[in-house]
Amino acid sequence: MEKIIAAIDALHFSDEQVDGFKYFAKEANSPLTVVCLDNISSELISLASAYPEAYTINYEQITVENRAALEYQRNSNIKQLHEVCDNCNVNINIREAAGFPAQEVVAESRFADLLMISSSTSFATLADSNPPRFVKDVLVEAECPVMVLPEVLSHINEIVFSYNGTFSSMYAIRQFTQLFPGFSDMPVKVVYVSEKNYKTIPWEQKLREYLELHYDTVEFIILNGEPATAFLAMLIHRKDCIVTYGAYGRSGVSRFFHRSDAESVLRTTNVPVFITHP
């Protein structure tokens, strides 16, 4: 079994998000720890703008009342989460964490085999980026593989391994394979984007030998064009697959796609994205 954790915003989450986390924990045949985060302090910062006549209002009273409301909402949500999780076929442990959400999640990832987050999770009080800053920060700093799930997980029919011959792309493939041995009967598609007119897949035979030990059906595909654009075009209308990336946001020659390229996939597709950085 593996140590799998999922991070949620205790103030804003859905049953569909939790269902996605439970699905992958079940496929990994592992218990799931759901870490409930909140950012109540920063939620209160923006409240002053809602009271333009604040000079006539006791601001301290406003924050006390709103903190109580937010804490009630959080407690109600966590109670609902227990109801959703207690009677399912996955061993789930729920616990709360206080502090800065991204920092808490990164600290948790040091002692985990997989971290799962939703692509929409954001603790910003104002308009956020897409994907949210929280997601991007976690992807850069996490100390274990990260699975970013869409808001609603569709049925998975295929695994798509992005590959360019580098250690980082193979590392992502190997990590995913080791985490999810139950996917051995899932069709696998290895996608190589031709770089600098090099039409041969690097180390193809060795990669094929490795994958055929773990999966029943393996297909190799070569795409042409600018790597990020070609890969995104292949995924843009997909909802039924999982895709792997290696070395998100890390410097050095081991990086696969640039950070902005991976963000484009997160922003414009609805597939789970598995990302590692060795």
Which has the higher per-residue pLDDT, 69 or 112? 112
**pLDDT at residue 143 above 70?**
yes
Q: What is the pLDDT of residues 7-51, one digit of tens each?
A: 988 887 888 998 999 999 999 999 999 998 876 554 444 444 444
**pLDDT at residue 119 above 80?**
yes
CA dihedral defined by 178, 265, 250, 126, rounded to 10 degrees? -120
Residue finishing a domain among 127, 149, 171: 149
Same domain, 177 and 43: no
Same domain, 72 and 178: no
Residue finishing a domain among 114, 149, 184: 149
Percent of the chain with pLDDT over 90: 37
Query: DSSP per residue over 161-187, as a string?
Result: EEE-SSHHHHHHHHHHHHH-GGGGGS-
Same domain, 60 and 164: no
Percent of the chain with pLDDT over 70: 79
**pLDDT at residue 277 above 80?**
no
DSSP 8-state secondary structure symbol assigned to residue 260:
H
Give the domain extent around 226.
158-276
Same domain, 246 and 137: no
pLDDT score of 40? 57
pLDDT score of 266? 82
pLDDT score of 47? 41
Q: What is the mean pLDDT of residues 143-169?
A: 92
Q: CA distances (Å), 126 to each of 117, 133, 213, in order?
A: 20, 12, 49
Same domain, 135 and 193: no
Same domain, 231 and 116: no
pLDDT score of 182? 93
Which has the higher per-residue pLDDT, 66 or 125? 66
Confidence at 173, pLDDT banded by 50, 70, 90? very high
pLDDT score of 50? 43
Same domain, 263 and 172: yes
**pLDDT at residue 57 above 60?**
no
Same domain, 169 and 256: yes
Same domain, 163 and 235: yes
Confidence at 96, pLDDT banded by 50, 70, 90? confident
Q: What is the mean pLDDT of residues 158-167?
A: 91
Domain of residue 262, CATH code: 3.40.50.620
Which has the higher per-residue pLDDT, 136 or 77? 136
Q: What is the mean pLDDT of residues 58-69?
A: 58
Q: Taking a C-beta distance cutoff of 8 angstroms, is the pair 16, 151 a contact?
A: yes
Q: What is the pLDDT of residues 208-266, one digit of tens each?
A: 999 999 999 999 999 887 777 888 888 888 899 999 988 765 444 334 445 556 777 88
CA 78, CA 84: separation in Å to the nearest integer? Answer: 10
Q: CA distances (Å), 258 to each of 250, 253, 264, in order?
A: 9, 11, 10
Residue finishing a domain among 149, 174, 201: 149
How many structural domains compose the chain? Answer: 2
Q: What is the mean pLDDT of residues 73-98?
A: 76
